[in-house]
Structures are given as structure tokens and as C-alpha cells.
Amino acid sequence: LAKTTQPISMDSYEGQEVNITCSHNNIATNDYITWYQQFPSQGPRFIIQGYKTKVTNEVASLFIPADRKSSTLSLPRVSLSDTAVYYCLVVGMDSSYKLIFGSGTRLLVRP
């Protein structure tokens, strides 16, 4: 499974847009990108998933360039409650159930 690299931590302020980039240079053709969010003392929560170009839902957008070697999770107008750890995962289509979590990005949103 492709290894992912993402920043250890990021700081932002309420109301700003936050972009968290993840690199996955060894992503395979059958892999897709999935992002999870984890609040303190809670289990991770699925945010968004995509294969290429752009995916948007009510929570976030996911941008994936043509070479798919990186992806960017975009959180519009963050609030204090978006303070959490964000995990980027590369998941194989033939092993969708096997999630491998890295160290994630700790996002701190300040007032």
C-alpha cells in the first residue's frame, strides 16, 4: 500500500480556508484517496474519498491532480470545532477494508 506523507501540524484561524496536502508518490492505479478526521477521545470519522480531479461534499473538498501523486483536503471557513487530527489514507480497491493510518496532521483552529 502506498505510503503517505502529510504535515505533522497546522495552525489556522476561524473563518479561514485550510488546505492540507498529502503526498503519495507510489500510489497505484487501483488505489484511491480517503480522508478521516479524529477529534480527541473519539474514533476517526470518514470525511471524503476520491480517485481523481475534484470531489466535494458538505464537509470538504478533495483535489487530486492528474498524476495522483498528491492530494489536498480543503476545509472551507474552519471553526474551532474543526480542531482535530486529519488522516490521509491510500486505499486499494481490492483491499478497501484495510485502512492503514499514518501519523496524521494536527489542525489547530484559533479564535
What is the contact surface with another protein in residues (CB under 8 A)? 32, 34, 38, 41-46, 49, 85, 87, 89, 91, 96-101, 103-104
Q: Contact, 109 vs 82, CB < 8 A?
A: yes
User: By C-beta, is 17 or 30 nearer to another protein?
Assistant: 30
Nearest to 70 by CA among 18, 1, 5, 19: 5
We find the least distance from the C-beta atom of residue 44 to another protein, in angstroms, to be: 5
We find the least distance from the C-beta atom of residue 83 to another protein, in angstroms, to be: 15
User: By C-beta, is 26 or 96 nearer to another protein?
Assistant: 96
| Widest Cα–Cα separation across the chain | 43
- Close Cβ partners of 41 (under 8 Å, ≥ 6 residues apart): none
We find the least distance from the C-beta atom of residue 9 to another protein, in angstroms, to be: 12
The secondary structure of 2-13 as a DSSP string is ---B--SEEEEE
We find the least distance from the C-beta atom of residue 1 to another protein, in angstroms, to be: 12
